[in-house]
Amino acid sequence: MLTLRRLNLDHFKSLLFGSRTRSGLLFTVLLYTLLIAIGFVYLYPLLFMFVTSLKSPSDLLNPMVQWVPTEFYIGNYEKAYRVLNYPVTLTTSILISVVPSLLQTFVASLVGYGLARYRFWGKNLVLLLILATFIIPPQNTVIPQMLAYKEQGLLGSPWALILPALLAQGYRSAIFILIFYQSFLSLPKVLEEAARLDGASDLRIFLTIAVPSAIPAFIVSFIFSVVWYWNETFLTSIFLEGGVTTLPMQLSRFVQAYENLYPPGTVNIFDRLNEAVKMSGTFLNIAPLLVMYFLLQRWFVESVERTGITGE
């Protein structure tokens, strides 16, 4: 009887605190509690944004309404859609982020391949300078570029972003070059040597052997590049000012654009700019990225391990 109770107690204890081989219930509960708590804090701004964007003007004034709006109100979205000039800015944003990303990814793979596969003088210097391009703040190089673009009449045109990407100096190109460098380093040399004996040229070897072997690196680089270009506002606001307008650029002059469409003196009190409309605009701004993220999230999270972004 006593041993049985003892056994039960032991069993209970191991269930609660875990044993060497499996974690206990207590640990699991603690883990989930912490994860949910941190997850909530993490998502708090997003939840706040989404809930606020659905509030009608009367809900905003009502102090009782905190997290659950009294009605499903999409008027804010209609206004924000018009203020952001959504179809136009969305198309521009897609164009401005996808085209340089495609070029940047391909050029970065060329450079990474050259660095990983060939011995030549000054290679370490080049690697060092690539790191330096990552460190140098953009405002240390941006003014002469802007003046040069202005002289060439390229200021405000998408070429101002495409040209640097084409020459491996796009936004955060250094990271992508290093990703490709890492992934080509680990490629076995045997295949290339066989192809070379068969008389294939270097470019052909790169295109038919190296590129297919590094598909994960290409996908990861491309989607990170798109996201970073999309969210970049310092360079775009300087290079594209007065020309095309991206979605984040339009968001940063939201107040002004709103007052152009709905002059403060003429509209009734419910159509004045309020935080709900601003939050709707912000949400419209990140919505395409959210869609992309949920479609491709496997690539964002998992393949970073495979491509060795850590740079060790």
> Which of residues 107, 155, 178, 244 is near other proteins by CB under 8 A?
107
Q: How far is the CB of 77 from other proteins (least distance, A)?
A: 15
Dihedral angle computed from the Cα positions of residues 288, 290, 294 and 300, in that order, rounded to the nearest 10 degrees: 100
> Which of residues 124, 266, 268, 310 is near other proteins by CB under 8 A?
310
Q: How far is the CB of 2 from other proteins (least distance, A)?
A: 29
Nearer to other proteins, 101 or 145 (CB): 145
Interface segment toward other proteins; rule CB under 8 A; list 66-74, 79-87, 185-193, 229-237:
229-237
- Three-state DSSP at 18 gives strand
Q: Which of residues 153-172 bind other proteins (CB under 8 A)?
A: 163-164, 166-169
Residue 110 vs residues 119, 205, 280: alpha-carbon distances, Å: 15, 12, 41
Q: Is 290 in the site for other proteins (CB under 8 A)?
A: yes
> Which of residues 3, 4, 5, 20 is near other proteins by CB under 8 A?
20
Nearer to other proteins, 56 or 224 (CB): 224
Q: How far is the CB of 224 from other proteins (least distance, A)?
A: 8
CA–CA separation, 100 vs 198, rounded Å? Answer: 35
CA–CA separation, 211 vs 191, rounded Å? Answer: 13
Interface segment toward other proteins; rule CB under 8 A; list 54-62, 79-87, 256-264, 271-279:
271-279
Please, what is the angle between helix 25-53 and helix 275-301, to 10°?
Answer: 140
Non-local (6+) Cβ contacts of 223 within 8 A are 292, 296, 299, 300
Q: How far is the CB of 186 from other proteins (least distance, A)?
A: 14
Q: Which of residues 40-79 bind other proteins (CB under 8 A)?
A: 41-46, 48-49, 52
Non-local (6+) Cβ contacts of 133 within 8 A are 169, 173, 174
CA–CA separation, 218 vs 180, rounded Å? Answer: 8
Residue ranges with strand state E in the chain: none
Binding to other proteins by CB under 8 A, coded x per residue (else -) over 177-216, reads: x------------------------x---x----------
**5 is written with which tokens?**
């109770």
Q: How far is the CB of 295 from other proteins (least distance, A)?
A: 11
Nearer to other proteins, 42 or 72 (CB): 42
Q: Which of residues 116-155 bind other proteins (CB under 8 A)?
A: 117-121, 123, 126, 129-130, 133-145, 147, 151
Non-local (6+) Cβ contacts of 79 within 8 A are 258, 262, 271, 277, 280
With CB under 8 A as the rule, give the number of residues binding other proteins: 91
Q: How crowded is residue 283: how many other Cβ atoms within 10 Å of its Cβ?
A: 19
Binding to other proteins by CB under 8 A, coded x per residue (else -) over 237-266, reads: -x---------xx-xx-x------------
Residue ranges with strand state E in 154-248: none
Residue 35 vs residues 17, 39, 160, 302: alpha-carbon distances, Å: 19, 6, 43, 20
